[in-house]
Amino acid sequence: MGEKHDTLSLGIDLGGTKILTAVANAQGKMLSRDHSITPAKEGQDVVVKSILESVGRALDQAHIAAADLAAIGLGAPGLSNPETGILFTSPNLPGWKNVPLRDIIEKELGRKAFLINDANAAAVGELYFGAGRGARDFIYITVSTGIGGGIIIDRKIYTGSAGMAGELGHMVIDDEGPQCNCGNKGCWETLASGTALAREARHRIKEGAVTSILRYTDGNIEKINAEAIQEAAQAGDKLANELITRAAYYLGVGLANLVNIFNPEAIVIGGGLSNIGDMLLKPAFEEAKRRAFKQAYQAVRFARAELGRDSGVLGAAAFALDKIRATENTLEPNSE
Ligand SMILES: [Zn+2]
């Protein structure tokens, strides 16, 4: 369709609740985009089948076949190794253990595939097509139900020796803090995520705090989420404002650590909770400023992520293109 000579890749963003699939070119232009639900409870085989169905629809929509793709990039939640293509475990995909996800996808679609952590994929998306475009070194964080991250050094995602780098949400902020899903205590995401905000609200209400938060959840304490707290805060609710200030404080503590460790050009912030905006971010940046080295803080630019929900799928597609090019380049000098 006139795009014949374009280099196309397929991005898959596998989440615990949704699967997003897109065919994109090297400039990040999407030729198609398919969105479906992840049947996580039905187990691995059903989820893999759903991925392949979504891929089929995305290819049809773009009027191409799998054979037209240069590569496939797959972003998945949880711990994985991009070198081996194995997804170790994922809190969002119950029952998955050491799944050779890359090889499964490669075999089914007959194209070279690459596996990457979902937050790392989002960081790559922002690197090429979003808020990280002009930066060499930056840190991406996504603050939603948890906190995910990606470390970009010299315009490359840093994945570590076993592929597990960038688990920024599990940096310990309070050694006696709340229990984390990972088994540790007081991780950043137990104090500064949407889940942390809701948990603290429920705790305070059960202790008898007076608040209007429940007005935004039909009176149901279990339905409390970040949006309800934000709405109550905007309407002037004292507890809701206190809770956001508390989350902002911990967000700032973690940001100060990142500023001091990486001295990055930028920290790009995405994820649902960041949509609270200034009410959360301004006090977080102030706390980071109080704690970080002055010169490092002055050198950092805080930016909001630009790609929204497409960062992961575009990043996965771009990561795959990057990898396939690197493979070709390394083969060149010594080709058989
Ligand atoms: Zn943790």
pLDDT of residue 3: 45
pLDDT of residue 331: 57
3-class secondary structure, 149: strand
Gap from CA of 235 to ligand 1 centroid (Å):
33
The residue type found at 23 is V
Pair type for strands 138-143 and 266-270: parallel
Tokens of 217: 């959840």
Interacting residues of 261 by C-beta distance below 8 A, sequence separation 6+? none
Gap from CA of 2 to ligand 1 centroid (Å):
48
Gap from CA of 194 to ligand 1 centroid (Å):
15
Gap from CA of 325 to ligand 1 centroid (Å):
35
Q: Are the C-beta atoms of residues 211 and 231 closer than 8 Å to each other?
A: no
pLDDT of residue 326: 87
Gap from CA of 170 to ligand 1 centroid (Å):
4
Gap from CA of 183 to ligand 1 centroid (Å):
6
Interacting residues of 207 by C-beta distance below 8 A, sequence separation 6+? none
Gap from CA of 58 to ligand 1 centroid (Å):
35
Gap from CA of 168 to ligand 1 centroid (Å):
9
pTM over 0.85: yes
What residue ranges of the chain are covered by domains with CATH 3.30.420.40?
Answer: 8-117, 131-305
Q: Are the C-beta atoms of residues 313 and 72 closer than 8 Å to each other?
A: no
Gap from CA of 110 to ligand 1 centroid (Å):
37
Cα separation, 73 vs 89, whole angstroms: 19
Gap from CA of 171 to ligand 1 centroid (Å):
7
Residue whose token pair is 């969105």 = 35
Gap from CA of 78 to ligand 1 centroid (Å):
12
- Give the CATH H-level superfamily of domain 8-117: ATPase, nucleotide binding domain (3.30.420.40)
Gap from CA of 218 to ligand 1 centroid (Å):
31
Gap from CA of 172 to ligand 1 centroid (Å):
8
Interacting residues of 258 by C-beta distance below 8 A, sequence separation 6+? 139, 141, 168, 264, 267
Pair type for strands 138-143 and 147-153: antiparallel
pLDDT of residue 5: 57
Residue whose token pair is 């990043």 = 315
Instruction: Tell me the CB-side half-sphere exposure of residue 5, using CA atoms within 13 A.
Output: 0
Is CATH 3.30.420.40 correct for 131-305?
yes
CA-nearest of 66, 84, 82, 65 to 74 is 82
Residue whose token pair is 């050094």 = 153
**Consecutive 10-residue averages of pLDDT for the chain (336 residues):** 71 95 97 97 96 98 97 96 94 92 97 97 98 97 96 96 94 97 96 97 97 97 96 97 98 98 98 95 98 98 96 98 85 48
